[in-house]
Amino acid sequence: MAARALLIALPKELILQIIGELNLSALLRFSAACKSLHHLISSSAPIQYRIELERAGYIDGPTAGPLTIAQRRARLQNHSRAWHGLSWALSTDCKLKLDSDFTHYYISSGAIAFALRSFPGTKLSFYEFPSSISRNLGLEWPFEVSFDFAIWSFAFDQEQDLLVLIEKCINGKNPRVHIISTTTGMPHPSAKVHVLEAPPVPSQTQSVLGPAFWLEIVGDTIALLVRVNDRVSTTRESYLVMWQWVTGFVRVNMTFLKYEAPDTFSFLSPTTFALPTISRRRGAAYGDKTPMIEIYQVHNDDTHPLYPLPIHCATFLLPPIRKNIHIVEFLGRSDPPPVQPSFRSQHRPRPFHFATEDRIFCFSLAHAGTVLLEPLALMFTHSSTLSNYAKYLSVDRDHSRHIPWEEWGPSNARWLEGDFADTSDYACYVYGSRFAHKVSSSPGEDEDDSDVISTPETQMIQMFDFNPYAVEHKAKNGNAEGGQGVNEEGPGKYDVALEITHRSITSPSVIAAGSLFVDDVYSALPYREVLKSVDYDEDFSVLMDEENLILLTPGDAMRVYSM
């Protein structure tokens, strides 16, 4: 009591400065300590804005922007409320002005680009999404740029005016990596080397399957994984190479034996990345059937004795898989990429951004049965769990950097099985703390009483939100969900006003031994599930970014739901 009295006696400005150093949980405890502190915190617009930022999993943008704290807070509240209830403000059907079917697409910085064959090379067509945060209408920017060569893959970053193209070449040759300005289509003025050379593409002479490419831009780093799809008839190795694109410096160059190559990679931070790995060797020993998430650190110079191999930091072990199971794909994805503030656009500053450590990682295991692919197994965990690998490393394991599943997984991950058809290499099905996909059929008996009417023209979108505050959140300002379904297990509750079925899952789930895993697998990461029907009779995949759900069809149309 005496300490509290002394604190309250301090000047208001000093108290606010002290409070400003506290994290969210400490702030909330502080607010509950006494009426004076509660009034001080609740009446401070900057502190209230900071609380809502942290609850939503966001960080503040440039303070020099045109918006006041009150305006930023209002936009954040609207944004969070819209995602919580999947209550989009705008629905836009877009007829894509494409000359032919697209071969690739890429989403970044609030825009989508499609790659099309255009003799003798490639044409890229860009569309910008609507944004209520930045106040632009979007989809009125069909910007096109053409090149006189075919490409294997591409990526772009609007905030850096950066476009990266992997020029197609003959197998066994070195692909050329072009560093280009998005707006001009010319070599990027900041790049000292405008065309980088990647290692040779693996030859696959006995197979029609070509190599697969996974390309990402994260700040000043370009990362390219070239993966052998035919692991039987080739003797060449897959590889992962990373460049600092401004200087051309090679930050990482690592190769993989054909049965050990990863399918994807994802960045935890600008300098660390995760590789989901599992052996594909036939007749692999029991220990080789354990999926792993390997964490590596990249180089900033060539002085380290391991260079150009990355520095191995830790390996998170997943539950062991039954010996007779054939793993077809082991993918990992997390968006948006972890970009430092210095690489964000100063011309079109956004008032807030998703916090890197609050992103959810989605890992998917596709396995084959006797004839067809079995249901996918998805595992979700927070970026912060993988980034904080040091706290799981034990000195009792002879300096081993392998972290057993039992020590990190059950309370920090959530395993789900089902028909998650959208989780392919290119679909952007996860963003921030959220995962979304199209439900191909009835999601289960739990939804039988949800009052959601299914028709041939109506399809279901399912979203999982792993923000811990979303699980406990109650919508405000007239959009409350009637007190139904919040923190409730079992069947979801239907909200008439929002037209959603929702529930929060806080208890552990189990995948029984015998189907995929050797043992029963328990996991308990809390999440909130939302189901909403959409009247759209096209076949589509669900994509998402910070403000939009995109229903992308295989043809020349897409629908965009903007929050």
Are 128 and 183 part of one and the same domain? yes
Are 51 and 145 part of one and the same domain? no
Q: Is residue 118 part of a domain?
A: yes
Q: Is residue 124 part of a domain?
A: yes
More confident residue, 207 or 34: 34
Minimal CA–CA distance to 55: which of 379, 341, 465? 465
Mean pLDDT of 237-251: 95
* 100 pLDDT tier (thresholds 50, 70, 90): low
Is 499 a residue whose pLDDT tops 80? yes
- Chain segment 537-551, per-residue pLDDT in tens: 888 889 999 999 999
Minimal CA–CA distance to 471: which of 497, 507, 503? 503
More confident residue, 385 or 94: 385
Number of domains, the chain = 2
Q: Is residue 324 part of a domain?
A: no
Mean pLDDT of 116-134: 86
Are 58 and 200 part of one and the same domain? no
Domain span at residue 33 reads 2-70
Mean predicted lDDT score pLDDT of the chain? 83
H runs (alpha helix) in 10-44:
12-19, 24-31, 35-42
The pLDDT score that the predictor gives to residue 243 is 98
Mean pLDDT of 255-263: 86
The pLDDT score that the predictor gives to residue 476 is 38
Are 135 and 201 part of one and the same domain? yes
Exposure letters 501-513 (e unless 16+ CB within 10 A, then b): bbbbbbeeeebee
Q: Is residue 562 part of a domain?
A: no
Is 479 a residue whose pLDDT tops 50? no
The pLDDT score that the predictor gives to residue 222 is 97
Q: Which of 209, 232, 261 finishes a domain?
A: 261
Handedness of CA 543, 545, 549, 551 (dihedral sign): negative
Q: Which of 261, 283, 305 finishes a domain?
A: 261
- Chain segment 35-63, per-residue pLDDT in tens: 777 777 787 888 889 889 988 999 888 76
Which residues does 412 contact at the CB level (< 8 Å), separation at least 6? 381, 382, 385, 525
Q: Is residue 278 part of a domain?
A: no
Q: Is residue 452 part of a domain?
A: no
Are 64 and 107 part of one and the same domain? no
Is 262 a residue whose pLDDT tops 50? yes
Is 379 a residue whose pLDDT tops 90? yes
Are 103 and 66 part of one and the same domain? no
Is 474 a residue whose pLDDT tops 50? no
The pLDDT score that the predictor gives to residue 29 is 77
The pLDDT score that the predictor gives to residue 364 is 92
Using CA atoms, how far apart are residues 505 and 519, in angstroms rounded to an integer?
Answer: 23
Are 17 and 151 part of one and the same domain? no
The CA-CA-CA angle for residues 188, 133, 72, to 5°, reads: 115
Mean pLDDT of 277-296: 76
Q: Is residue 518 part of a domain?
A: no
The pLDDT score that the predictor gives to residue 449 is 44
Cα-only R_g, the chain: 24
Q: Is residue 233 part of a domain?
A: yes
At 94, which amino acid appears? C
Are 52 and 133 part of one and the same domain? no
Q: What does 41-75 look like in DSSP terms, one character per residue?
A: HHT-HHHHHHHHHHHHTEEE--TTSS--HHHHHHH
SS3 for 165?
strand
Is 482 a residue whose pLDDT tops 70? no
From 103-117, 241-255, 327-341, 438-452, the region with the lowest mean pLDDT: 438-452
Using CA atoms, how far apart are residues 78 and 81, in angstroms rounded to an integer?
Answer: 5
The pLDDT score that the predictor gives to residue 193 is 96
The pLDDT score that the predictor gives to residue 257 is 82
Mean pLDDT of 25-40: 75
* 413 pLDDT tier (thresholds 50, 70, 90): very high
- Chain segment 423-451, per-residue pLDDT in tens: 555 567 899 999 999 987 544 444 444 45
Mean pLDDT of 107-136: 86
* 521 pLDDT tier (thresholds 50, 70, 90): very high
Are 142 and 247 part of one and the same domain? yes
* 421 pLDDT tier (thresholds 50, 70, 90): low
Is 473 a residue whose pLDDT tops 60? no
Are 22 and 147 part of one and the same domain? no
Are 19 and 168 part of one and the same domain? no
% residues pLDDT > 70 (the chain) = 81
Minimal CA–CA distance to 84: which of 60, 52, 56? 56
Mean pLDDT of 272-293: 77
Is 75 a residue whose pLDDT tops 50? yes
From 154-168, 278-292, 379-393, 513-527, the region with the lowest mean pLDDT: 278-292
Mean pLDDT of 369-383: 77
Mean pLDDT of 489-510: 88
What does DSSP say about strands 311-317 and 402-403: parallel, antiparallel, or unpaired?
parallel
**Of the ranges 113-122, 291-300, 462-471, the best mean pLDDT one:** 291-300
Is 519 a residue whose pLDDT tops 50? yes
Check: CB of residue 201 under 8 Å from CB of residue 184. no
SS3 for 500?
strand
Q: Which of 226, 261, 296 finishes a domain?
A: 261
Are 231 and 144 part of one and the same domain? yes
The pLDDT score that the predictor gives to residue 446 is 45
The pLDDT score that the predictor gives to residue 484 is 39
The pLDDT score that the predictor gives to residue 230 is 58
* 99 pLDDT tier (thresholds 50, 70, 90): low
From 2-11, 232-241, 387-396, the region with the lowest mean pLDDT: 2-11
CA 505 to chain centre: 21
Mean pLDDT of 137-158: 84
Using CA atoms, how far apart are residues 300 and 289, in angstroms rounded to an integer?
Answer: 34
* 6 pLDDT tier (thresholds 50, 70, 90): low
Structure tokens at 123: 């044409």
Handedness of CA 443, 495, 353, 182 (dihedral sign): positive
CA 253 to chain centre: 24
Task: Give the global pTM.
Answer: 0.87
